[in-house]
Structures are given as structure tokens and as C-alpha cells.
Amino acid sequence: MQLELSEEDQAFRQEMRDFFTTQVSEEIRTAVTEGRELTKDQLVESMRTLNEAGLAVPHWPEEYGGRGWSDLKRHLWFEEMQRAGVPTPLAFNASMIGPVLAQFGSEEQKLEFLPKTANLDIWWAQGFSEPDAGSDLASVRTTAVLDGDDWVVNGQKTWTTLGQHADWIFTLVRTDPEVKKQAGISLLLIDMATPGVEVRPIELIDGGHEVNEVWFEDVRVPGDHLVGELNSGWTIAKFLLGNERVGVAPVGATKRSLAYAKELAADLIADDPLLRARVAELENELLALELTALRVAAHSAGGEPHPASSVLKLKGSVLQQAVSELVVDLAGPGSLASGAGDDSDLDGWARRATPTYLNLRKASIYGGSNEVQRQIISRTILGL
Amino acid sequence: MDFTYDDEQVALRDAVKGLVGKAYADFETRRNAVAEDPGFDETLWSRMAEMGLLGLPFAEADGGVGAGPVEIGIVCRELGRVVAPEPYLASVVLAGGLVAACGTPEQRWPVLGALSAGDSVLAFAHDEPGRRWGPTATAVSAIDSDGSWTLSGVKEPVLHGAHADVLVVSAALPDGGTGLFLVSGDDAERTGYAAYDGTRAARISFDGTTATPLGAAGQDVTASIATVQDITRVMAANQALGAMQTALSNTTDYLKSRKQFGVTLNTFQALTFRAADMYVSQELTHSMVEWATMVVAQGDAEALADAASRVALQVSRSGRHIGQEAIQLHGGIGMTAEYAVGTYVAHLTMLDHLFGDGGFQLSRLAASVTEHGALDPLA
């Protein structure tokens, strides 16, 4: 048992801190810190800056750009990135399809897609959820039927995050309707520019355009864009979702939000004992979460996600939401002014507080809802 | 940074588990142990002494073993797992810790040597009726008549105070501040009783009772008391974690075996989800307890005070959550004294109120919340 980082890890942490705070554009980092929406160009620029330094996909296998870091180093990399306000690498690319292609893809697919995925030359979207297949992902109905060498895809995906920016979509499709529902699914890579693909925006409660419906009508996909074995989509999806859960406890970003809120509303907090207590309680819960993330990182073995990673997802989303709720309350009546422009007399953070709060309601729904996480904990860990 | 035990620590844990876990493997044995005075198993206490557990925190020169906080935490964790009623926290960690921190070498050797050998039980007489938690004393005052010290006033509740051979007593000093004194147990008027979890406590009154200053006479040792209390808080958190782990595992076992409406309880998602939330509380607490124990090892009093408050807040919240849910998920049987889970909850409640509950700690943390930016456990 030892609290201090080793000298090597301390130096690594400092190296990360120096890089993130000096090499990624200050304009982008300020936008992140202030909770402003980033443009596609900003997200691409930031990820390319990281990739150029070998910092976009360090968790991938080394032959595809990974760094072979310990789990602790990865944790420090991720925390320092969030602390500095650097946008984390696009999850669809870095945490989802990249590791999947490295693990299950053909040599041709790896060569073709992995470098472009790491550099965000291709912007990926996730085509998993459907209107009747949210948490019950195995119920997907979008079909892919072989016609000559091509797959012909028909169906509808939903909740496709940032699909309006996407170049390609990795898509769960039903390739065998006759077998048990988990056994008849495959993963297909689809170029969004293919005729028959249509993206329709979904308006959300925060007023932004973040998710979409994606419709497929007789979309022809080359046969070699199937990933892994035919009908192995469920196995691949489970691998992907396991990785996803590990990366969705945004401790660093939530800490940064809370520290920023304290700074902005310092006078208010100083004068109000109840607010001070709320902040102190959240800080303590975040500390417990961060220490748990460190404990999980220190105990992860063999690339398998630690079972307690469900704790991180569950508690991480709850705290992320709780901090955003505190910020709305700190903004008070100013939080109503979400539609005001820059000539408003109200502070920008106060005007953005409620859209952020409303937007973050998603955190306990996506990536396996918190009810799904409770199911995983009670079944897998507690054996109930 | 490393959250794992080394080989010796694993061996210690297994040895303590082997001794204490076996002694109280059956909850009925524990019930019998607390049924009669002194409220714990003196044979087991002797075995703990033979194994070196009672001398763990003390220097070899003082008759101890000279181990660190991680080792003491291991012992407390295992005691908590079986709600062992032995006075380890009160006698070794707290009262012994004060003697080690404030006593002269001439005092430390006999007092701590006897404690380590299992020949003497110590108690810290500090809490006073009507006062809440803190490191100072007011109701008991010390008088100095030409170098001959006497104490007057009442201390209550004093953990294991009725049975203790040596009392470490805090008292208001004539020139201000709080001093510590050694008093022979037999020299004070004592009324013992059992707390709701079976732990023994006492009312102790002093009426011109002869006392020996611990360390230099008349010295204000408030800061030392606060530090030893903080260390004890962290060790109490280790003990509470052990109790939470058992409370949860008993509950999951029960959900798997108990049938209602023709099926086992784990068929009902409303119940398994609540067990999952208990697990979340337990894991977050586990992380905080390991961290705070490592902060003790670093030896910085200011960092320790902060960590002690933080872990105590977490333990208070989680202990109540896990404890209350454990009883609820057991149903009526959880209310019975012959079934273990209720005693676990009672014990968690006792630990919560020894040194400042969640509200008290939160109040302390809230007072300084604007003085820092983001917290960094690795700073």
C-alpha cells in the first residue's frame, strides 16, 4: 500500500499536464471549461493534435498506435486531459470501433480504417439503438440480406449521437432472423454517403442537435465490410460495450465543473452554509469515485474490464448530473436566460447552466442505463 | 501508487481472520461473549496478545511491535467483519495511541508493555455529558497542589471504562488547555453498562482522585489528542468497512435463500437493485478507507485531519445506507437479536457516533470548502 505515485508516474503525469495545457488550442480548452458546444472542426483539430503526439489512442494494441501503458498511466492520461479542458478523443472512434477493429477486423479492414480512425479522418457514428432496441440491444430489427457480393440493408437506427457529422457508421444488423435473437446479429461498416442512407435530426430537451435517426433503404454495402464472423455481432457488441463503460466515469471533467462553479459563484457559496455543505458533500463523493477509479485501474488484469467498472458508470453519471444540477441552482433566475445572446447582462455560465443540466440527463441512460448497471452488479458481482 | 497488500500484510490478514474469524464464526458465540462482563472473550484477547496484535502500533522500545497503520487497519477490518466485541479500538488504538504520543519513555514502557502483553486493558476517559465531539475537556478539571495532581468531575460514556486497569483521562488544566492523566481504574468510581451493540461503556466520576500527568505536567496536549482521535477515526472506518462487507454478504445470501410467494427473493428486481446500490456504497467506502489509511501512514497531521473527516463522512453515509437496507431486505428476522444483521447495524451506528457523525464531519468540511479548488488525492 502506497499513496504516492512512483517517480516515473509523477513525471508522466507532469508530461501529460504540460502537453495538454500548452499544445491543444487554448480557445478549444476555454470553450470546454465554459461548457460551450464545440464545432466539428474544433473536435477534429483537437483529436489530430493528440494523435500527432501519439496521445489519441494509447489504449489500442501497440501495432495500431497504442502505447502499452499501464492502466494507471491511462487513467492519469485521461484525468489530465479532462482537467486541462481538452476534449476527450471521439469515443465512437477511440473507445468503440477502433478497439473492435483491432480485435475482430480483417487485415484489410485494419489497414484501411485504423489510421483514419485514430486521426479522425473518418468520423464514426454508432448504429446500435433502434426504437425497440435500447437497453434490450439484442432486439435489433434492421436487416442485412446478402445479394450477390453485397449486403442490402433496410431499417432504422436512433439516438445516433453526432450522426450529422459522421462519415461512416458501425451498425448492428440482423443477418439471421431464424435463430435466437442474440445469435443472428452481425456488425457492418456502412459509408454514410451510400445512396439510401438518410439522417434526420431529433430535437432534444436542451434545444441542441446532438442525436439523429438514421434510415437505411435498400443500402448496398460491400460484403467485405462485415466485421468478424457472420452472426458474431452480439459478441462484438458486448466487447465494445464493456470498453465503453470503463471510459464513461468522467471524474476529471466533473471535478473541473465543480471547481469552476465554486470559482464563479464564490461569494454566493461563501455566504450560504447549505450551499457550502452541498459542495462539500459532492467533493467527498467525487473523491470516493476517483479513488475507486484508481483502485480499479490498479487491479485491472488482462485487458478485461474490472467488474466494479459498473460502479464507476453508475456513480459517475449520478455525480455528473448532480454537479450540473448544483450549477443551475447557483445560477438561480439567471438560469432561465438560455435563449439570450451574447449581449445579455447575465454571465455565460449561468445562461448555459440549464441546457447542460438537461443534456446530462442522458448520462444515466446511454452506455447501458443505470438500471442495466444495477443488473450487472447484482447478477455478475453479487450473484443474485 | 498501490492499493494492494504486500505478502506480509496478506499473511497478517489471514492470521487475524484465522484467529478472530474462527472465534466468532458462529454469531451465537459472539452473543454469549457480550452477555456477561467484561463483554468480550478474555481468552481471545490473550491470544491476540500472543500473536502480537495488541502491541502492533507501539515501538519495540515500548514493548510493542512497531507496525504501521495498514497493519492496524487490517486487524480492525477483520474485527469488524465479525463484530468482535474486543476493546481493540478503544484500548489499543485510542488509549494506547495517546500514551504512545504523549507519555514519557518511563511511562510508555510499563503501560504499553502490559497492554501489548494482554495483561492490562486501557480506556480513554474523555467524553463528557452534554458535550459533543472534540479534543478538549471541560467537565473534568485537574488541580495541581505542589506537584500532586487530582481530578474532579464526570466522564461518560467511557468505552470499556468499568473494566479498564488504567484510565487515560483528559482534563481541563488550571492554566487553560487540556491535559492527559493516568489514573488507576480502581481509584475512580465506576458504573459499567452495555451499549446497544453489546460494547461496554461506563460512567466514571472523579472526586479529588489522585492522577499522574501523562508526559510533562500541565502541558496542553489538545493537538495530540486531536491527531490520535483522527487516527482512531480512520481505524474505526476500517472496522466499519468490515462490518458493512458482512452486512451486505449476509443480505445477498439471504436474498438467494429466502422464499416468498414460492420463489427466492432474488427473483424480485426491486430487491436486487437495492442490493446493487449497497454494493456501490461499499466499494466507494472501501476506496476511501484504503486511501485514508495510507494518509495516516504519511504522517502529516493536517492531511490526516482532512482525510479523517472525509472517510468518516463516507462511512457515516454508507454505514447507514447499508445497515438500514440490510435490515429492510431481511424483513422481520432482521429485527431479532438472535440474528446477526441487526447487531451489525447497531455496531455501525456505534462507530458512527464515537468521533463525529456524518453531519458533524460535513459541517467541518463545508467550513473550508471555498479554500481550495478541485481535490486531488494524489497531490
Q: Is the pLDDT of residue A245 over 90?
A: no
Q: What CA dihedral angle connects A369, A372, A377 and A383, to 10 degrees?
A: 180
Tally of helices (H runs) and strands (E runs) in chain A:
14, 8
pLDDT at residue A301, rounded to an integer: 54
pLDDT at residue A304, rounded to an integer: 59
What whole-number percentage of chain A has pLDDT above 90? 84
What whole-number percentage of chain B has pLDDT above 70? 100
Residue B2 binned pLDDT confidence (cut-offs 50, 70, 90): confident
- Say if the Cβ atoms of B3 and A295 lie within 8 Å: yes
From B367, which residue of chain A is nearest by alpha-carbon distance?
A: A276
Q: Which amino acid is at B104?
A: T
Minimum distance, in Å, between the CA of residue A275 and any CA atom of chain B: 9
Residue A368 binned pLDDT confidence (cut-offs 50, 70, 90): confident
pLDDT at residue B106, rounded to an integer: 97
d(CA A182, CA A304): 21
Counting Cα atoms < 13 Å in the Cβ hemisphere of B293 gives 28
Minimum distance, in Å, between the CA of residue B376 and any CA atom of chain A: 8
> Which of B255, B291, B369 is nearest residue A291 as measured by Cβ atoms?
B291
Crossing angle of helices B222-257/B301-330, nearest 10°?
A: 30
> Which of B284, B313, B378 is nearest residue A289 as measured by Cβ atoms?
B284
- Say if the Cβ atoms of A375 and B276 lie within 8 Å: yes
- Most B CBs within 10 A among A1, A318, A371, hence the mutation to make, goes to A1
- Say if the Cβ atoms of B369 and A295 lie within 8 Å: no
Residue A117 near residue A47, CB atoms below 8 Å? no
How far does CA A172 lie from the centroid of its chain? 18
Residue A308 binned pLDDT confidence (cut-offs 50, 70, 90): confident
Q: Mind telling me the catalytic residues of A?
A: 244
Residues of chain B positioned with their CB less than 8 A from the CB of A289: 284
CB pairs under 8 A between A and B: 149
From B296, which residue of chain A is nearest by alpha-carbon distance?
A: A3
Residues of chain A positioned with their CB less than 8 A from the CB of B377: 3, 287, 290-291, 294
Q: What is the pLDDT of residues B209-262, one digit of tens each?
A: 999 999 999 999 999 999 999 999 999 999 999 999 999 999 999 999 999 999
Q: Is the pLDDT of residue B196 over 90?
A: yes
Residues of chain B positioned with their CB less than 8 A from the CB of A311: 279-280, 283-284
Minimum distance, in Å, between the CA of residue A207 and any CA atom of chain B: 30
Sign of CA dihedral B45, B15, B228, B307: negative
Provide the 10 A C-beta neighbour count for residue B212.
13
Question: Scanning the structure block, which residue is given the C-alpha cell 465503453?
Answer: A244
Residue A214 near residue A130, CB atoms below 8 Å? no
Residue A72 near residue B4, CB atoms below 8 Å? no
Beta bridge partners of B201: B159, B193
Q: What does DSSP assign to residue B156?
A: E
> Which of B275, B295, B369 is nearest residue A283 as measured by Cβ atoms?
B369
Residues of chain A positioned with their CB less than 8 A from the CB of B272: 374-375, 378-379, 382, 384
SS3 B203: strand
User: How are beta strands A150-157 and A143-147 bridged, if at all?
Assistant: antiparallel
Residues of chain A positioned with their CB less than 8 A from the CB of B294: 1-3
Taking Cα atoms as reference points, which of B74, B72, B92, B79 lies closest to residue B23?
A: B79
From A376, which residue of chain B is nearest by alpha-carbon distance?
A: B276
> Which of B2, B269, B314 is nearest residue A284 as measured by Cβ atoms?
B314
Q: Is the pLDDT of residue B61 over 80?
A: yes
Across chain A, what does the average pLDDT equal? Answer: 93
Residues B178-203 have a mean pLDDT of: 98
- Say if the Cβ atoms of A292 and B291 lie within 8 Å: no
From B264, which residue of chain A is nearest by alpha-carbon distance?
A: A384
Provide the 10 A C-beta neighbour count for residue B52.
15
Does the model's ipTM exceed the 0.90 cut?
A: yes
> Which of B2, B288, B374 is nearest residue A288 as measured by Cβ atoms?
B288
Q: Which of A120-129, A307-316, B230-239 has the lowest mean pLDDT?
A: A307-316
**Sequence-distant contacts of A4-11: CB under 8 A, at least 24 apart:** A4/B1, A4/B378, A5/A76, A5/B1, A5/B378, A6/B1, A9/A72, A9/A73, A9/A76, A9/B1
> Which of B280, B294, B377 is nearest residue A2 as measured by Cβ atoms?
B294
- Say if the Cβ atoms of B275 and A382 lie within 8 Å: yes
Residues of chain A positioned with their CB less than 8 A from the CB of B256: 383-384
Taking Cα atoms as reference points, which of B25, B53, B202, B186 lies closest to residue B117?
A: B53
Sign of CA dihedral B71, B76, B82, B88: positive
Residues B353-369 have a mean pLDDT of: 96
pLDDT at residue A244, rounded to an integer: 67
Burial class (CB in 10 A: 0-12, 13-18, 19+), B281: buried
d(CA B170, CA B219): 12
- Say if the Cβ atoms of B276 and A374 lie within 8 Å: yes
Q: Is the pLDDT of residue A37 over 90?
A: no
Sign of CA dihedral B334, B338, B340, B342: positive
Across chain B, what does the average pLDDT equal? Answer: 97
Q: Is the pLDDT of residue A303 over 60?
A: no
Minimum distance, in Å, between the CA of residue A243 and any CA atom of chain B: 20
- Say if the Cβ atoms of A382 and B252 lie within 8 Å: yes
SS3 B132: coil
Residue A302 binned pLDDT confidence (cut-offs 50, 70, 90): low
Q: What is the pLDDT of residues B129-180, one digit of tens each?
A: 999 999 999 999 999 999 999 999 999 999 999 999 999 999 999 999 999 9
Taking Cα atoms as reference points, which of A11, A14, A25 lies closest to residue A86?
A: A25
Residue A35 binned pLDDT confidence (cut-offs 50, 70, 90): confident
Residues A134-147 have a mean pLDDT of: 92
Tally of helices (H runs) and strands (E runs) in chain B:
12, 9
- Say if the Cβ atoms of B276 and A259 lie within 8 Å: no
Residues of chain A positioned with their CB less than 8 A from the CB of B284: 285, 288-289, 292, 311, 315
Question: Scanning the structure block, which residue is given the C-alpha cell 461563501?
Answer: A270
Residues A71-99 have a mean pLDDT of: 93
